[in-house]
Amino acid sequence: MINAYSRRITPPFSGQVQIAESDEARALTMDGKLWEFHFLYTLPGEENDPGRKHQRRYAPVMTMDREKLDSIASDARSGSRELDERILELIIFISSATLPFPSIDRFEYWLMDPRDDSPLALIFSCPYPEQMKDFPNKTEWTALPAAIMPIERTPEEEEQSEPPVNYRVERMVAERAGQKPRSRWFDRQNAPEIEFPTLLLSEQWASEEQHDLCQRYLHRQSTRLLMLHGLQQGDRKRLELAARPHVFETERFFPCYPDIIDEKLMKIILVEARIRGVNEEAPSSVRHRRDGIHYL
């Protein structure tokens, strides 16, 4: 039996990974286009340890693009079975599956705002309570690095040699958290009274400069934030608008968006990405990027 679900990649938040998992192997993708296949293994002494149920260990086996995956699945249905059965089972499942898979991140670890003890920024999330104790007692929020998500600087910032927006936002969050930052686990299914930041980072800031930096960071992260499940229509709409300049990233992650508000806008973005892609304008760092998802 194949279990299909999705999880947030944290820290820092870089998107939602799709996972198809059997008792012996799994397949993962950030975009539905490139899939990684792993075999399950256990260390000596772990075979009969019930506490390791949700702490499985995996070894990477291969990567495969969607075109090759569909071709292998078609051959397998015709009787050709040249691959390991553990991988083939996942390939056949994926070839007919619909993305995105349901999100299962229920337990969330938040950096807290010392002013009112409210959630300030999401540090980590996981689907099972057993995994909470294995996450380090980390009280620092990290921004997605500029090398992965470059944010254009203003002429004034260029002239003054300001650090990337990513690191300025990271420092801003650290300063707000204080010298003795606090963090806390929440079970989102049992915390209806808590107001969590919709986009995983508080948008309420004291100064106009801080608010501007936060919005520039979130707008640039929009192509990845659109992978989140459960967004309100207004939030998803503003993220779609913010994603408009980043056509290649939007095209890449589009298969993993659980909902679309402005279908016309999204069609314009995807058409532009295809046209520009034909002219080799799409940077390979976007279309062929392999995200760090092996640790899950």
The residue to which tokens 């989140």 are assigned: 228
- Sorted by where each begins, the domain ranges of the chain are 3-95, 106-205
Q: How confident is the model at residue 49 (pLDDT cuts 50, 70, 90)?
A: low
CB atoms within 10 A of CB 98: 7
Check whether 94 has a pLDDT greater than 80.
yes
| Confidence at residue 294, expressed as pLDDT on a 0 to 100 scale | 45
| pTM reported for the whole predicted model | 0.90
| Confidence at residue 53, expressed as pLDDT on a 0 to 100 scale | 53
* 80 Cβ neighbours under 8 A, 6+ residues apart: none
* Mean pLDDT (whole number) for 65-92: 88
Contact 231, 198 (CB under 8 A): yes
Contact 127, 106 (CB under 8 A): yes
pLDDT tens string 145-195: 999 999 999 999 999 999 999 999 999 999 999 999 999 999 998 988 999
For 120, 141, 186, 222, 280, the CA distances from 124, given in Å and listed in that order, are 13, 9, 11, 19, 37
* Mean pLDDT (whole number) for 82-106: 94
